[in-house]
Chains A and B, each alone.
Chain A
Amino acid sequence: MAQNYDFEFPDGPGKINISASTIVLAVVGILILFGLFTSFYTVQAESQGIVLRFGKYYNTVGSGLQFKLPFGIDQVLIVPVERQLKQEFGFYTSGGTNVSQYSVSTAERNAERSMVTGDLNAASVEWVIQYRITDPKQFLFEVRSPEFTLRDIAESVMRAVVGDRTVDEVITIGRQEIEGEALIKMQELVQKYQLGLSINQVQLKDVNPPQPVQPSFNEVNQAQQQKEQMINVANGEYNKVVPRARGEAEQKIQEAEGYALKRVNEAEGDVANFVAVLEEYKKAKDVTKQRLYLETMQEVIPNMGEKIIIDEGASQILPLLNLGKGAKE
């Protein structure tokens, strides 16, 4: 065909004719090849491709090898819809994948952290949000820099939530509530701004009183421990004394019961003895009486010290007595 073409220009030099047609063909060929090469592209498993034809949204394609029109007619924007993304506020972890993950400057991170609480105290709050791109069309076309908008929203919401709480709630007891409320409010705003994102999680990280105030917060902790300790010491004292007193009381009662038994048994013994002797006494009163008297005397008199026997007639014996051992020398 090229040959025919050459021969139909008889006036021109054949060589030039041949090369002119070859150039046109070569250009067309290169264009076709180039077009073919730029017509294929792959979309990763976690992503979707948004196809624009002459800048207008054409369609959305899934993952895999895809075809598009070349020469800038079709343009493809790849959006990682399945990837869990995060943004960090007030701190950073290295190895971030998206540019909006954290603020690079330390001053900026410091500013992100510091907040005013509802009791006009200050607190340093670090947090992280997890989100995903759920609507790539919205994400690309509704808002310019949606991820930085998200950062603004996150900061604004977190401050509003912290602003309605006391410093104690922020630092200790209210953490979960803050996470929950911030999540709901952020979701509302993301919806309102049509960012094409959905927030899955808001997590508080380090939440502290500001640096210069921290010692006084520690003092509170110490005081709390001191309180516990004082109570423990007092309880120890109590436990040291009271159970012992209980035991001792029990001992006394037992002893009293012993005494009671003894007393009654002895009484019964005495009475039994008495009754037995009484029976004898009844049989022979005088004799028994005398016997008992004499038996007693017999028992008593030998044991006594000095024994002096004087006649009935003697009237003055006392002066004779050397009373008391002190005088005896």
Chain B
Amino acid sequence: MKAAIIGAIVLIVLIVLSAVTGVFYVVDETKQAIVTQFKNPVGDPITEAGLHFKLPIIQEVNYIEKRILEWDGQPNEMPTKDKTYIIVDTFARWKIKDAMQYYLRLKDERSAQSRLNDILGSETRNAIAKHELIEVIRSDKDRKPAQEAIIADSLGGIGTLYPIKVGRDRIEEQIYEKASTKLEEFGIDLLDIRFKRINYNQTVQQRIFDRMISERQQIAERFRSEGAGEAAKIKGKKERDLQEIQSEAYRKVQTIEGEADAKASEIYAKAYNQSSQAAEFYEFTKSLETFKEMLKEDTTLIMTTDSDIYKFLQNIEGN
């Protein structure tokens, strides 16, 4: 009984002691570890998570990240091949692939980040300087933009994409290829590098704005001109339709009236030409009618005794 209690106490003391002096250490899922003895690494890096042992006091544990890490570059102003100054902001993902090499060359993440700054920064600069601005903006060479009709018709390339030969993805790859070999010796595996932001610098921006404004003004002018054109078209159609309507009416009126006149003539002719007697009679009655029309109150009648009326009278007297 006594021995058991003493044993228990000893065990507790041992556990506490070893915990304090550091016999056990825990490597969690996100870490790997290198054990050093008097600053010199001992054994292989520990990549398996869990509870591990080491010699107390003289051995030290150095934890190193196992996860994919970020590198967030500072926004840098740099010129493109066409001498446009742009601000480029990149980011990369990297991983400590060879913990031992990483530990020996860089010691800690701070120096790793600064090495990444140097290498990725300069490779980005190189790549940007080799290409025109549009190459880092666009990625799909074949893309045809959708256009509104008004813009599609405009001259001067408004609403079209600038053509590219290389493209953003390929430039990212170029930077990646150059940088990743340089980082290998540090035990770093570069996973990729991407452009996060690309923007014009202040002076370029003003130039771009000016161009945008002039483009918009062109489009506005085009709208107005189209409006005037459409209006003129409608005015023309109005005139045309009016002429058509009026002339058509004239034609119809003339046809109808002509046909009626012809029919009337036919009716008259048929009646008057039915016999020589009819013709003679028509001539006579028509003369009479003409008289009637001709002789009005402002007519002065000069009759000789020789005239028809008198002849009748004379005849009657003679009878």
A residues neighboring B (CB under 8 Å):
4-5, 8, 24, 52-57, 75, 111-112, 114-122, 140-145, 148-149, 152, 155-156, 159-160, 163-169, 172-174, 177, 193-194, 209-210, 212-213, 216-217, 219-220, 222-224, 226-231, 233-235, 237-238, 241-242, 245-246, 248-250, 252-253, 255-257, 259-261, 263-264, 266-268, 270-271, 274-275, 277-278, 281-282, 285, 289-290, 292-294, 296-297, 299-301, 303-312, 314, 317, 321, 323
What is the minimal beta-carbon distance from B110 to any residue of chain A, in angstroms? 15
Known: A260-B257, A305-B298. A237 touches B238 (CB 8 A): yes
The answer on a CB contact under 8 Å between A57 and B29 is yes
The answer on a CB contact under 8 Å between A119 and B259 is no
The answer on a CB contact under 8 Å between A267 and B238 is no
Known: A52-B28, A263-B264, A293-B288. A173 touches B235 (CB 8 A): no
Known: A118-B162, A212-B209, A223-B219. A142 touches B67 (CB 8 A): yes
The 21 sampled A-B contact pairs (Cβ below 8 Å) are: A5-B2, A119-B159, A120-B134, A141-B66, A142-B68, A144-B68, A152-B70, A174-B145, A193-B68, A213-B209, A216-B213, A226-B223, A237-B238, A248-B249, A250-B249, A252-B250, A290-B312, A294-B309, A294-B312, A296-B291, A309-B304
Cβ–Cβ < 8 Å partners of B27 in chain A: 55-56
The answer on a CB contact under 8 Å between A306 and B300 is yes
CA of A294 to CA of B226, assembled, Å: 80
The answer on a CB contact under 8 Å between B271 and A235 is no
B173 is an interface residue with CB less than 8 A from chain A: no
One of A155, A164, A168 near B138 (C-beta < 8 A): A164
Cβ–Cβ < 8 Å partners of B216 in chain A: 213, 216-217, 219-220
CA of A293 to CA of B308, assembled, Å: 10
Cβ–Cβ < 8 Å partners of A297 in chain B: 309
Within 8 A of A (CB), among B203-242: 205, 208-209, 211-213, 215-217, 219-224, 226-228, 230-235, 237-238, 241-242
Cβ–Cβ < 8 Å partners of B198 in chain A: 116, 159
The answer on a CB contact under 8 Å between A222 and B220 is yes
B107 is an interface residue with CB less than 8 A from chain A: no
Known: A118-B162, A122-B209, A303-B297. A233 touches B263 (CB 8 A): no
The answer on a CB contact under 8 Å between B302 and A144 is no
What is the minimal beta-carbon distance from A132 to any residue of chain B, in angstroms? 20
B20 is an interface residue with CB less than 8 A from chain A: no
What is the minimal beta-carbon distance from B204 to any residue of chain A, in angstroms? 10
B residues neighboring A (CB under 8 Å):
1-2, 5, 9, 26-31, 48-51, 65-70, 72, 75, 89, 91, 93, 133-134, 137-140, 143, 145-148, 150-151, 158-162, 168-169, 191, 194-200, 205, 208-209, 211-213, 215-217, 219-224, 226-228, 230-235, 237-238, 241-242, 245-246, 248-250, 252-254, 256-257, 259-261, 263-265, 267-268, 270-272, 277-278, 281-282, 284-285, 288, 291-292, 295-306, 308-309, 312
What is the minimal beta-carbon distance from A70 to any residue of chain B, in angstroms? 14
The answer on a CB contact under 8 Å between B145 and A253 is no
One of B219, B288, B301 near A308 (C-beta < 8 A): B301
Nearest 10 pairs of A and B residues by beta carbon: A227-B227, A55-B28, A260-B260, A249-B249, A267-B264, A54-B51, A230-B227, A223-B220, A234-B234, A216-B216
What is the minimal beta-carbon distance from B86 to any residue of chain A, in angstroms? 8
One of B194, B284, B298, B303 near A289 (C-beta < 8 A): B284
The answer on a CB contact under 8 Å between B137 and A163 is yes
CA of A252 to CA of B267, assembled, Å: 25
What is the minimal beta-carbon distance from B115 to any residue of chain A, in angstroms? 18
The answer on a CB contact under 8 Å between A231 and B302 is no
The answer on a CB contact under 8 Å between A259 and B300 is no
Cβ–Cβ < 8 Å partners of B209 in chain A: 122, 210, 212-213
Cβ–Cβ < 8 Å partners of B250 in chain A: 252
Chain A residue, CB-CB nearest to B49: A56
CA of A217 to CA of B223, assembled, Å: 13
Cβ–Cβ < 8 Å partners of B161 in chain A: 118-119, 164-166
The answer on a CB contact under 8 Å between A220 and B139 is no
CA of A277 to CA of B221, assembled, Å: 82
What is the minimal beta-carbon distance from A113 to any residue of chain B, in angstroms? 10
What is the minimal beta-carbon distance from B40 to any residue of chain A, in angstroms? 25
Q: Please give 8 more A-B residue pairs, beta carbons under 8 A apart, in addition to A217-B216, A249-B246, A260-B259.
A: A120-B208, A122-B212, A224-B223, A257-B256, A259-B257, A263-B261, A304-B299, A311-B305
CA of A266 to CA of B267, assembled, Å: 10
The answer on a CB contact under 8 Å between B267 and A267 is yes
Cβ–Cβ < 8 Å partners of A235 in chain B: 234
What is the minimal beta-carbon distance from A195 to any residue of chain B, in angstroms? 9
Cβ–Cβ < 8 Å partners of A160 in chain B: 139, 168-169, 195
The answer on a CB contact under 8 Å between A121 and B230 is no
- A141, A156, A222, A252 interface centre (most CB from chain B within 10 Å): A156
Cβ–Cβ < 8 Å partners of B30 in chain A: 140-141, 144
- B143, B168, B234, B235 interface centre (most CB from chain A within 10 Å): B234
One of B138, B191, B194, B299 near A152 (C-beta < 8 A): B194
What is the minimal beta-carbon distance from B247 to any residue of chain A, in angstroms? 9
What is the minimal beta-carbon distance from A142 to any residue of chain B, in angstroms? 6
Known: A116-B199, A144-B67, A166-B145. A223 touches B151 (CB 8 A): no
One of A53, A223, A293, A307 near B301 (C-beta < 8 A): A307
CA of A207 to CA of B310, assembled, Å: 112
